[in-house]
Amino acid sequence: MELREFFDSNPSCALAFSGGVDSSYLLYSASRWCKKLGVYYVKSLFQPQFELDDAKKLCEELGVTLNIIEADVLSDPTVVSNPSDRCYYCKRVIFEKITEKAREDGFELVIEGTNASDDIDDRPGYRALGEMKAASPLRLCGLTKDMIRELSREAGLFTWNKPSYACLATRIPTGEEITAEKLRTTEQAEGILMDMGFTDFRIRMVSGIAKIQLRKEQFPLLAEKREDIVKVLSPMYKGITLDLEARNGE
């Protein structure tokens, strides 16, 4: 099935939009072929401000209206307790919000950006999508991450080479309580390193200590910026460490 065929069969859709590579290409396609489209972004403490900024920017470029929904993901005690399947409970909160607003706006079908190369067996959140009956057109049409990046580049989307980004809660070890303070500290710290020129990295929080994970090609930049990093991050963490194994995942 081609994406256009999907939208021919489903001309009215509510899109759960994150501002990432996959949902951005899905938005681009839906804006071209979907006859009635609603676009919904859920704003919570789990998403950094730059994701919302990117979502607004792309919607403006494509001429579509972005509906922003506020969600208190920390209102769910299971999410706060941070079990290994935390993503399942978080997705339930988020997609319940989207589904409720979409139905108020006259939409029955909610679509989202899971692609054909995503390992759904390792993603508890995907189970929640199934329970909420959300459709994944990119996956249904066999579009992998590499294919989506290339199609996005051809379409002129600024998101085509945007690094994959996992929510801020992934920086906190499983089983350790998630708090607003920990999430805000993580967002601030990662924002500082982004301003220094670092890309596609993570700052994990392990017992109050910052654990920086970088791609190997950015190790020289770390050596150059080491003193600056220590100066700005020291007041925020009990200590600062570097993971010597180059980052290669979420």
- What local confidence, expressed as pLDDT, does residue 177 receive? 96
Mean pLDDT of 163-181: 94
Q: Which residue has the higher pLDDT, 153 or 124?
A: 153
pLDDT at 1: 84
The average confidence (pLDDT) of the chain is 93
- The pair of structure tokens assigned to 104 is 């108020």
Residues 94-104 pLDDT 10s: 999 999 999 99
**Cβ proximity of 164 and 250 under 8 Å:** yes
Q: Is the pLDDT of residue 125 over 80?
A: no
pLDDT level of residue 133 (50, 70, 90 thresholds): confident
Confidence of residue 237 (pLDDT cuts 50, 70, 90): very high
Torsion angle (degrees, nearest 10) of CA 234, 237, 243, 244: 20
Evaluate if residue 192 carries a pLDDT over 70: yes
The reported pLDDT for the residue numbered 4 is 95
- Say what the pLDDT of residue 246 is: 73
How confident is the model at residue 249, as a pLDDT? 56
Q: How far apart are CA 137 and CA 140, in angstroms?
A: 5
Give the residue extent of every domain in the chain: 3-155, 179-242
State yes or no: pLDDT of 217 exceeds 90.
Answer: yes
The token duo for 42 is 């859920």
- Asked whether the CA dihedral 190, 195, 201, 206 is positive or negative, the reply is negative
Q: What's the rounded Cα separation, in Å, for the pair 223 and 198?
A: 12
More confident residue, 129 or 7: 7
Of the pLDDT bands very low, low, confident and very high (cuts 50, 70, 90), residue 122 is low
Q: Which residue has the higher pLDDT, 232 or 131?
A: 232
More confident residue, 145 or 123: 145
Which of the four pLDDT bands, split at 50, 70 and 90, describes residue 164?
A: confident
Could you tell me how many residues make up the chain?
Answer: 250
* Average pLDDT of span 140-151: 96
pLDDT at 126 > cutoff 90: no
The share of the chain scoring above pLDDT 90, in percent, equals 87
CA angle 81, 239, 197 (to 5 degrees): 95
pTM across the whole model? 0.90
Residues 19 and 54 sit within 8 Å (Cβ to Cβ): yes
pLDDT given at position 130: 80
CB 240 within 8 A of CB 229: yes
Domain 3-155 architecture: 3-Layer(aba) Sandwich (3.40)
d(CA 12, CA 141): 18
Structure tokens at 34: 């979907």
pLDDT score, position 107: 97
